[in-house]
Every structure is written in structure tokens, then in C-alpha cells.
Amino acid sequence: MTTYRDIPSVDRLVQAVQQQIGDTSFPHTIIVQAVRAELDAVRAKIKEQNGAPSNGKDGAQALCESSPSLIPQLVAAVQTRLDKLTLPSLQPVVNATGVIIQTNLGRAPLSVAALAAMHMVGGGYSNLEYDLDQGERGSRNSHLNTLLQQLTGAAAALVVNNNAAAVYLALIALAAGREVIVSRGQAVEIGGGFRIPDVLRQSGASLVEVGTTNRTYARDYAAAINERTALLLRVHTSNFRLMGFVHETSLADMVAVGHAQNVPVLDDLGSGTLLSTQVYGLAPEPTVQESIAAGADLVTFSGDKLLGGPQAGIIVGRADLIDQLKRHPLARALRVDKTTIAGLHATLLAYLQGRATAEIPVWRMIAAPLEQLRIRAQALAARFGSAASVVPCQSAIGGGSLPGETLSSVAIALSAGKAIQPLDNLARALRVGSPPIVARIADDCLLFDLRTVLPEQDDILVERISAMLHPS
């Protein structure tokens, strides 16, 4: 068994590592850090074997069992540590979960056009804040205004780094020190602990809840308005839906109440969409255009959910209110960069030209015909022989959009009875491989829902599953 006396010095191990890896891009100090970390892990393992608890990790277990010389094994362990430094922790993943806007997997995949636009602008200089016609300083806020105005019917627009930022900016710029009226049923918490009451408190505005959890009327808003009222706020309930004995005041009625007393209405759509979801058999999701047409003074929504673009928070509405937001000091802290603007422009252009369902991955997935998915699944499953089958399943929209709504889909299934190891182990092996594949377990099967697997990833899916089923 290895003892403390067997552990080489830092200098000796550093020399051995440098001899092994030869010319390297790693500075000497990085190699020394990796060597120290590995030696600390070995010492911790020895301490544990002597009866004390340890936090030793990585290769320390094997090194401490028995070895006449630790040097070769330690060099290999240090080299593994160094190799890990070169691997990005953020990597592409095959999403076979069936959740289209998978928040944990990066939300919306970008279109080819969006990626090309981001690459083109990101690879060099651009007129981000330069007016080419006038030859003087311009504004980054100008690049998306026209497209957003044409698509939504709004008078003006502003883009910030996400929808939470959009809501926060609107509240702090328009309602700090004043009151914001919200239906009690909409004082919600969404992902990541983002709570509407907390956001209002941080913005300096006071929350005034009206109505009850399940029923709020226009008269409740009207009765709560006073000289301190800054905004009426409608909040998308995101990940849940009230059913049964429920009454929700329509946006048009809120607008009528607010405008009668000169109080603006802010409509936070959360995900937001420019296309009708009912066309695809889903419940109606309010569109941005409908909110503007109903008279909302400001509408906020996400760029990276149902819109299908890069992460952003989009604010559209009255020009005078948008100008107030642009002038607020916080707007600079929340602004988006040139690649986001380029990606959003390409995404919005697809909507303007009627190409969204053909080019934007989120809408391609939503619009994919069931029979097309079934044919594709059968072709892929045939490549696995009897190990896989094709089964019906349900896909979810995700991302806080259309809670409870699903789309009929088709999955390739590996059943527990035919698997060479427990399904949990198979799922983990796929997650930690390259590229990672994230699937789901249901009804004693490991399911790969093809609605969320991009067609160009089919061969990758087959290769990874085949390698797992047939390790030889």
C-alpha cells in the first residue's frame, strides 16, 4: 500500500510530466498547479485509508492501492487533469427528451441563417454604433427597430439581454417609488426563483395585488388606481395554468381601465410568439401582435423561446415610453452585443418573409407532421435490429410556454428487458459520452423522442446508441 514516503516531490513530478508531454501550450505554472492538485489528492486518499475521512478524487484511488513507483501513474493522472482544462464545459448536446424549448439544454437552437449572420458580424468590425451615412456615432438600438415595428405593429422597440431584464428595466424606469397593480393570480414565480413580487421590490416599485387567486375583474383594477399608480401589469403565468372556477380580466379590459385614468399597461408575455399556436393543435398563446392591437402600452417577451432566436428580452410599444427606457442608466448595463443583434435580425427576417416554420428549428419541430416523424423513426430503429422499437409519445413545448400542452410524437425505445444494463446506466453513458445525448426514461424504456432531435443529428444518434449496445 502506498505511504506518504512514496509520494515524489513536486519538482520531480513536474519534470516527469514535462518530459512526457514535450512541447505544450500549458505554462509552467499551470503544470505545477495540476501536479500539486494530484499530489494533494493522493495524500488525502492515504489519510482516508489510515482511518480519516477524505475528499480525494480523480486518480488517487488507484494510485494508493499498490505500486512500486507512482511516477508513471501520477504523470498520467496529471496529464488527464491538463487535458480537462482544454475541454470546454459548454458543448453541443443531442436533445432527445421531447421538450422543444429545453431551458437546461440552451432553449432554442438557432437557425442556419442566424448562425451565419452572427459569424459574419462577430468575425470583424461592424457598424454597431456607427452611422455609415452620416459618418458619425450611431445607436445599436436602431438595427432591429424597423423589423420589430413591422412584425408587431408597435411604434418603437428596445432589445436587452433577456426578458427578466426587460421587465425589470420597465419597472425601474417607469414605476420606481410608485405602485404597480397586479392580479393576485399573476404574482408568480418562474424558473430560477424569479418572483414578480421580488422584482417589483428590487425595482423600487410597490406591488398592489388585486382580486383573488382565481378570479380578478376589471373593476378590481379600477378600484385600486390612485395618484401613486404607475402601471397596470399583466404577467404570463408561465409554467402553470388555473383551471375551473376562474376569471381573468382580458388585456383589452385592462387597457380600457388604465387608459381611462391615464395609467399605462405593461403586458409581460414571458415567452411570447409571433405565430399562432392553434394552427398546430395547441392552446392559444397570446401573440405579440395581439397585445399591441389590444392597446398594451408596452409588451415584453423573450428572444430565445418561441421566437427561436438568441437570448434576448424584447420590449415593444409606445415610442415615448421606449424612449424613457433607453435613457435610463440601467439600459446600458442590459444592452445586447453585436452577435445577438445579428442573430435576432436574421431570425426576425424569417418571420417577415414567411420562412419561420421552414427555417427556425423550434417551429420546424412544432410543425413537423407526425407521419414524417414515424417514417424517420422506423428507418432509424431498423438499424438497431430487435434491440429497438418505435413507440408513440408526447412532446412538450417547454420554456414556460403553453403549460400542460403536448404534441403527439414518436420515439425510438430501448426496453429494460432488452437492454444490456440498467436503463439509468445507459442514460448516463449517453449523457457523458461525446457528443452527449439526453433522453428520458418512461414505462421501463429509454426513449429518444425524434421531434426534438434535429434531422442532421440522426447519424450521431445511431452511432452513439450502437456503440453503447455493442461495445465491441
Q: Which domains does the chain have, with CATH numbers?
A: 4-86 (no CATH), 94-101+362-469 (3.90.1150.180), 110-359 (3.40.640.10)
The yes-or-no verdict on residue 68 having pLDDT over 60 is: no
Average pLDDT, the chain: 89
What is the model's pLDDT at position 330? 96
Residues of the chain with pLDDT > 70: what percent?
91
Q: Quick one: average pLDDT of 12-41?
A: 88
What is the model's pLDDT at position 240? 58
Amino acid identity, position 453: V
* Confidence bin at 241 (pLDDT 50/70/90): low
Q: Quick one: average pLDDT of 181-185?
A: 90
CA neighbor of 308 nearest in space, from 94, 12, 107, 59:
107
* Confidence bin at 142 (pLDDT 50/70/90): very high
What is the model's pLDDT at position 85? 86
* Confidence bin at 440 (pLDDT 50/70/90): very high
Classified as helix, coil or strand, 415 is strand
Which residues face 265 on adjacent strands? 232
* Confidence bin at 323 (pLDDT 50/70/90): very high
Q: What pLDDT, in 10s, does the model give residues 75-115?
A: 999 998 988 888 888 999 999 999 999 989 999 999 999 99
The yes-or-no verdict on residue 239 having pLDDT over 70 is: no
The yes-or-no verdict on residue 238 having pLDDT over 70 is: no
DSSP class per residue in 47-113: HHHTTS-----TTHHHHTT--S--HHHHHHHHHHHHHHHHS-SS---EE-SSEEEBGGGTBSPPPHH
pTM metric for this prediction: 0.86
Q: What pLDDT, in 10s, does the model give residues 31-63?
A: 999 999 999 999 988 888 877 554 544 455 445
Classified as helix, coil or strand, 405 is strand
Name the DSSP class of 205: P
Amino acid identity, position 210: V
Nearby residues of 103 by Cβ (< 8 Å), 6 or more positions away = 191, 398, 399, 400
